[in-house]
Amino acid sequence: MRTYKPFDVFNKTFISILALLCTLPLLLVLIVSITDERSIQSRGYSFFPDQWSFDAYRMLFSGSSPLLQSYIVSITVTVVGTLLAVMITSMAGYTLAARHVRYRNGLAMFFFVTMVFNTGLVPWYMISTKLGLQNNIWALIIPSLVFNPFNLFLARNYMKQIPESLIEAAKMDGANDAFIAFRIFFPLSLPVLATITLFYGIGYWNNWFNAIMLVDTPNLYPLQYLLFKLNSEISMIQQMQSTTASLSTSLLPTESIKMATAIVTIGPIVLFYPFLQRYFIKGLLIGSVKE
């Protein structure tokens, strides 16, 4: 019969309680999003509302709502931007990890400096506009495409652990650097590549700053920026509610639509994370070990 140590029992109990506490806020957001607005106004946020209503979701997904268009923009930006960013970061990581590359340490220092010093907002905006990154889909992708130095060093440290003998053997067989990188290094570095894919994907999905600075066209608004505008408009509606007794205004699902928008926004990330979870921990731990 298997016996459990007291520490194991305490540890599992503590983690279970902590996981439950982390889940309850998300569950409350989901319940409030399908709660009738009158019930929220009378009882506040509750796990057991008096009335249920899907008015918030009907408003979000109505024919006149820009949510679906913003969803398409966010998905396009996230997929294209993540693939390009991972490709650039992985190739740069291979360059800095390969011992036969000259001046790789100097290049690494060049990237490290960008982690310490920031040029500021004005040069960033001037360069983006000079490159024509304004009011087009690339304005949401390219400004964030220059890889994160943290992700770069994560990939480099992982690839440095791959034996140099593999490169020597491949070169003896006539392989060039492109073949070695794509057929040897990248398949062996799948855990760390999955990790930085998750980082880049979340970064692109949650990015609203590029839209504020570089996009004025409503058809190009990403989901997060639309959420920002929606919250601002809801705040204005709430101010109107405090000064008028208009029936049409009081029936608007101002609170539930906030929660419904949050559920709609975090849904893809919650569904995407489990597929990369097993690679995420392994890539983060192994890639952070420096020789």
How is the chain split into domains, by residue range?
A: 63-287
In this prediction the pTM is: 0.76
- What residue type is 211 in one-letter code? A
pLDDT in tens, 182-217: 888 888 888 888 888 888 888 898 888 888 888 888
Q: Which of 189, 188, 180 is nearest to 152 (CA)?
A: 189
Say what the pLDDT of residue 96 is. 86
Say what the pLDDT of residue 84 is. 93
Say what the pLDDT of residue 287 is. 45
Please, how many CA atoms are within 13 Å of residue 39, restricted to the half-sphere of its CB? Answer: 18
Say what the pLDDT of residue 234 is. 66
Other C-beta atoms closer than 10 Å to the C-beta of 222 total 27
Q: Report the alpha-carbon distance of residue 106 to residue 77 in Å, rounded.
A: 32
CATH number of 63-287: 1.10.3720.10
Helices (H), 34-120: 37-43, 55-60, 67-97, 104-116
pLDDT in tens, 23-42: 888 888 888 888 887 888 78
Q: For the chain, which residues score pLDDT lower than 50?
A: 246-250, 283, 287-291
